[in-house]
């Protein structure tokens, strides 16, 4: 449904599971979103705020960052983890979730397909301003408000070994195309036909793709295959925290093949659309970089720290909340 190969997998759920989860969304503590009381003063006036998160590390970290700055601003903020976007977007529309971290291009296409059907013409692109413009219109039609995006971005990325990059003098995907080297890509089997994978690399960069090694997107097996030379290129994401462990480096997408999946908050326009909340969330948006997010993901996935702890440490270190 969108350009985010890995996120499409990890955020997609079976229809039956979506129905079941929508009927009773639960967090770690077992609280139902349907039972949350926003308080008499409303979500946007310093009352109770529910921050939604999908079930993977990066989303959980982002949700804790949002909750942290909201608490510092005087809100009673809590995090609710649900299965995927298909579950939390309707809850966001209803107001049982007030705010969620999102990805500009991916959410734009998700809402585009909801409004215009499965054969809708794509409206997201590598142009962040244009994509955000489309997103704001689509979000408004769902009772949502997309707040401005920041520098941090999580999108498809292609990596090679440091040695391979040095040998062929590669810094960008254009460099790889000009080198004339044949490459096998360690990725999901869908890379063969997805416009943002093999076809796009061939068309936009002139890269000679010899084949696809279907070991998955950003998996240990895929990265190991490139490390040991079985494959030359691996499809991963810009916030992959383990590339250094395999001696891999990302080649710059200098011609902007990938869509603008910059991170932004999306809120329920009625319950959480006030200036106070927007100002609090903007602190995270303005401070967070892609490198920051990589490190936060690494602390959770490799060092086994809790998402709430790494988020609090980051917010304090940047002076975004009081210690």
Residues forming beta bridges with residue 183, ordered by sequence position: 209
Domain boundaries, given as residue ranges, for the chain: 5-153+260-317, 156-251
Task: Assess contact for 35 and 64: CB atoms under 8 A.
Answer: no
Residue range 161-216, pLDDT digits in tens: 999 999 999 999 999 999 999 999 999 998 999 889 999 999 999 999 999 999 99
- Please check whether residue 12 is in contact with residue 197, taking contact to mean a CB–CB distance below 8 angstroms: no
Segment 164-169 long-range contacts (CB within 8 Å, at least 24 positions apart): 164/232, 165/249, 165/251
Q: How far is Cα 300 from Cα 47, in angstroms, rounded to an integer?
A: 30
CATH architecture of 156-251: 3-Layer(aba) Sandwich (3.40)
pLDDT at 122 over 50: yes
- On whether the CB atoms of residues 38 and 250 are closer than 8 A, the answer is no
d(CA 93, CA 172): 40
Q: With 70 as the cut, is the pLDDT of residue 310 above it?
A: yes
pTM: 0.80
- Compute the distance between CA of residue 319 and CA of residue 323 in angstroms, rounded to an integer: 8
Q: State the maximum Cα–Cα separation within the chain, in Å, rounded to a whole number.
A: 65
pLDDT tens readout for residues 52-73: 998 889 999 999 999 999 999 9
- pLDDT grade for 82, boundaries at 50, 70 and 90: confident
The two domains 5-153+260-317 and 156-251 share their CATH topology (first three levels equal): yes
Contact 99, 253 (CB under 8 A): no
Query: Distance (Å, rounded) from C-alpha 272 to C-alpha 147?
Result: 11
- CATH of region 5-153+260-317: 3.40.190.10
Kindly tell me if the per-residue pLDDT of 39 is higher than 50: no
CA torsion angle 288 291 296 299 (round to 10): -160
Provide DSSP, 228-277.
TTS-SEEEEETT-TTGGGGTEEEEB-TT--S---BEEEEEEHHHH-SHHH
Is the pLDDT at 271 greater than 70, yes or no? yes
* 82-86, 108-112, 127-131, 313-317: least confident range: 82-86
Give Cβ neighbours of residue 19 (< 8 Å, ≥ 6 apart).
none
């Amino acid at each position: 449904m969108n350009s985010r190969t890995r996120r499409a997998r990890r955020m997609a759920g079976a229809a039956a599971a979506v129905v079941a989860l929508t009927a009773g969304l639960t967090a770690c503590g077992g609280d139902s979103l349907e039972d949350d009381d926003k308080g008499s003063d409303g979500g946007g006036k310093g009352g109770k705020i529910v921050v939604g998160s999908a079930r993977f590390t990066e989303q959980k970290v982002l949700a804790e960052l949002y909750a942290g700055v909201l608490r510092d601003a005087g809100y009673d903020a809590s995090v609710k983890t649900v299965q995927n976007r298909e579950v939390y977007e309707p809850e966001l529309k209803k107001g049982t979730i007030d705010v969620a971290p999102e990805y500009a291009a991916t959410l734009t296409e998700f809402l585009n397909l909801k409004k215009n059907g499965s054969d809708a013409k794509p409206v997201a692109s590598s142009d962040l301003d244009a994509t955000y413009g489309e997103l704001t219109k689509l979000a408004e039609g769902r009772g949502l408000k997309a707040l401005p995006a920041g520098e941090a971005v999580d999108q498809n990325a292609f990596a090679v070994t440091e040695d391979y990059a040095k040998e062929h003098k590669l810094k960008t995907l254009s460099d790889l195309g000009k080198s004339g080297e044949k490459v096998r890509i360690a990725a999901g089997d869908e890379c063969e036909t997805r416009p943002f994978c093999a076809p796009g690399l061939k068309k936009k960069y002139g890269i000679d793709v010899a084949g696809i090694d279907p070991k998955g997107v950003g998996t240990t097996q895929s990265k190991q295959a490139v490390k040991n030379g079985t494959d030359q290129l691996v499809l991963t994401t810009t916030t992959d925290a383990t590339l250094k462990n395999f001696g891999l480096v990302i080649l710059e997408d200098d011609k902007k093949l990938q869509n603008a999946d910059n991170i932004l908050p999306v809120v329920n326009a009625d319950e959480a659309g006030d200036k106070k909340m927007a100002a609090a969330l903007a602190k995270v948006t303005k401070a967070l970089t892609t490198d920051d997010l990589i490190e936060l993901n690494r602390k959770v996935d490799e060092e086994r720290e809790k998402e709430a702890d790494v988020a609090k440490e980051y917010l304090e270190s940047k002076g975004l909340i009081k210690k």
